[in-house]
């Protein structure tokens, strides 16, 4: 079938899993040829003709499937994750991969408020009494939200939506976020606060931050102990942000009055798993990951995705894409990749609470090139550590603008012994890197310490006093943990300080990091994943 207006074949869209009718209408209204399929055999028959493929979570978009689709331009995932899509294979084939995390913002914010209300008004316990034909309010005295302090950890899209709704309930709002400026917070009616102070002052704490190595077990035993006695905590963000064992202990002791949980570290929990004890605790309100499960959210997911699919098929940029390519002259593309790795490393190494302003310095011959591709690549590496929004080359600048993250690109002479180098400075931390032999990335400077490290894989950074024995003690501990060291770089300055960067074969768990930090004369130990 041809498009009458252009004479070209009408694009074919294969919808491999159920999709809301609102999304299908977007496709059909554009005149596309839409095929809804119900099984692998039908998909196999149509994929050779497909220009677009829409999936949810069951269909595996493998390299073999992509190879069988020579006309495919775009794969759309009606949801957040893209674990079932071979994104690298799609990128190699020039196929755009889309997903839709933004569409569930309102649903998740409303569910957060629902659980908060249910928690402080004992809705679950009251329902159980009714089911047992017991009409009694004894022991179920609740609390009002009005006048209480709500601490929001993560002031992104969902955290901001929660803040707006909490203000309507008359709550005072504190927020902790590494990148939100004071002016932005003030405009939202929110007071920024360091995490320890937020925990100490809040009557309710709600989590809305992405799950990263830095935020895993963000709220553990010590954080729960900091909270007010009788405070309550809500997690509709990511399983793993709360240490579930520690939370159970805090509930059992009565220090934490209640918890509302929509997500757990392992979903679905296995029968008999320890987390079921937490989920069934009398002071816990729990739901099975219902945050984005509303008809309206599913409609938005479908319509947003299909609008992006239409845009790609018409040669227009989508609102966002997982793997949007970024163009740069071939001779500097390795430096663009280096910028991404510097961006990813920065929040893992810096101890600054507010990562909002950076100088990206193009040194030597690199200063002759447009700085934009480097800045965008740096943001694509940085922002996923700071926000739960989908970040790609096509939306990184817009997300950074909304979050108040500024990257200024500067040109300068290179005084490191290289023709070209890339440096980043901000918040008392600095990195520099270069490319050797045409394509090999190197990290050559951290905070003024000269090193030579491949910025890839599992790395371990120590900061310590320049005294004998540190290298041996660290190596011994890693050996006892059966962690192999592949590379080692040690650098020191004339002030008696030193750093050591190790390449290791697997990421150390927090217990090993803790042991390393207890070595005498060691000031900091940081795991880095690149």
Name the residues annotated as catalytic: 238, 267, 289
Distance, CA of 361 to chain centre: 26
Residues 6+ apart with CB under 8 A from 153: 159, 175, 176, 177, 195, 198, 205, 206, 207, 208, 209, 218
Cα Rg of the chain (Å, integer): 26
Strand partners, 526: 461
For the purposes of burial, counting CB atoms within 10 Å of the CB of 168, is it exposed (0-12), middle (13-18) or buried (19 or more)? exposed
> From CA 231, how far away is CA 205, in angstroms rounded?
8
Residue 266 near residue 289 (C-beta atoms within 8 A): no
Measured CA to CA in angstroms, residue 528 lies from 48, 172, 218, 504, 524 at distances of 42, 36, 17, 10, 13
- String of DSSP letters for 120-167: HTTHHHHHHHHHTT----TT-----STT-EEEEE--SHHHHHHHHHHH
> From CA 528, how far away is CA 502, in angstroms rounded?
10
Measured CA to CA in angstroms, residue 474 lies from 412, 502, 521 at distances of 38, 10, 12
Sign of torsion, CA 47 50 51 57?
A: negative
Rounded (10°) CA dihedral 214, 162, 182, 447:
10
Residue 206 near residue 162 (C-beta atoms within 8 A): yes
Q: What share of the chain is helix, strand, coil (3-state, %, to 5)?
A: 35, 25, 40
Q: Is 390 helix (H, G, I), strand (E, B) or coil?
A: coil
> From CA 508, how far away is CA 41, in angstroms rounded?
44
> From CA 249, how far away is CA 264, in angstroms rounded?
16
Q: What are phi and psi of 35, to 5 degrees?
A: -125, 120
> From CA 224, how far away is CA 439, in angstroms rounded?
47
Tokens of 398: 């817009």
Q: Is 188 helix (H, G, I), strand (E, B) or coil?
A: coil
By C-alpha distance, which of 410, 428, 408, 409 is closest to 354? Answer: 428
Residue 309 near residue 301 (C-beta atoms within 8 A): no
Residues 6+ apart with CB under 8 A from 255: 224, 225, 227, 229
> From CA 249, how far away is CA 255, in angstroms rounded?
9
């Amino acid at each position: 079938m041809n498009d009458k207006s252009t004479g070209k074949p009408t694009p074919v869209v294969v919808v491999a899993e159920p999709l809301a009718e609102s999304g299908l209408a977007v496709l059909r209204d554009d005149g596309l040829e839409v095929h809804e399929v119900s099984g692998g055999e039908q998909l196999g028959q149509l994929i050779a003709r497909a220009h677009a493929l829409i999936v949810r979570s069951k269909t595996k978009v493998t390299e073999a499937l992509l190879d069988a689709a020579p006309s495919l331009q775009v794969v759309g995932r009606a949801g957040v994750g893209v674990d079932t899509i071979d994104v690298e294979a799609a990128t190699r084939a020039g196929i755009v991969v889309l997903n839709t995390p933004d569409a569930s913002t309102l649903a998740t914010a409303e569910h957060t408020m629902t659980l908060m209300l249910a928690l402080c008004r004992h809705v679950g316990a009251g329902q159980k009494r009714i089911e047992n034909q017991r009409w009694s309010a004894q022991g179920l005295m609740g609390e009002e939200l009005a006048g209480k302090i709500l601490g929001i950890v993560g002031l992104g899209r969902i955290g901001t939506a929660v803040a707006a709704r909490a203000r309507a309930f008359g709550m005072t709002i504190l927020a902790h976020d590494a990148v939100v400026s004071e002016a932005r917070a003030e405009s939202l009616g929110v007071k920024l606060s360091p995490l320890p102070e937020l925990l100490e002052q809040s009557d309710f704490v709600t989590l809305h931050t992405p799950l990263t190595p830095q935020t895993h077990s963000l709220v553990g035993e010590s954080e729960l102990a900091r909270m007010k006695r009788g405070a309550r905590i809500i997690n509709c963000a990511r399983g793993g942000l709360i240490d579930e064992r520690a939370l159970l202990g805090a509930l059992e002791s009565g220090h934490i009055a209640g918890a509302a949980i929509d997500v757990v570290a392992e979903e679905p929990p296995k029968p008999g798993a320890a987390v079921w004890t937490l989920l069934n605790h009398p002071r816990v309100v729990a739901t099975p990951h219902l945050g984005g499960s509303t008809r309206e959210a599913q409609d938005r997911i479908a319509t947003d995705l299909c609008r992006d699919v239409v845009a790609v098929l018409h040669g227009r940029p989508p609102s966002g894409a997982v793997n949007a390519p970024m163009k740069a002259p071939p001779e500097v593309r390795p430096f663009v990749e280096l910028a991404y790795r510097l961006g990813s490393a920065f929040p893992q190494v810096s101890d600054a609470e507010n990562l909002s302003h950076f100088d990206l310095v193009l040194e030597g011959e690199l200063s002759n090139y447009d700085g934009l591709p480097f800045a965008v690549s740096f943001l694509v590496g940085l922002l996923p550590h700071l926000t739960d929004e989908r970040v790609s080359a096509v939306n990184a600048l817009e997300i950074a603008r909304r979050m108040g993250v500024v990257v200024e690109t500067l040109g300068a002479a290179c005084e490191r012994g290289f023709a070209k180098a890339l440096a980043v400075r901000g918040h008392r931390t600095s990195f520099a890197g270069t490319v050797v032999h045409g394509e090999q990335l190197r990290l050559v400077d951290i905070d003024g310490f000269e090193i030579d490290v491949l910025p890839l894989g599992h790395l371990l950074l120590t900061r310590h006093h320049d005294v004998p024995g540190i290298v041996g003690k660290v190596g011994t501990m890693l050996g006892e943990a059966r962690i192999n060291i592949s590379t080692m770089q040690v650098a020191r300055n004339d002030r008696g300080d030193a750093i050591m960067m190790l390449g290791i074969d697997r990421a150390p768990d927090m217990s090993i990091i803790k042991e390393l930090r207890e070595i005498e004369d060691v000031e900091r130990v940081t795991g880095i994943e690149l």
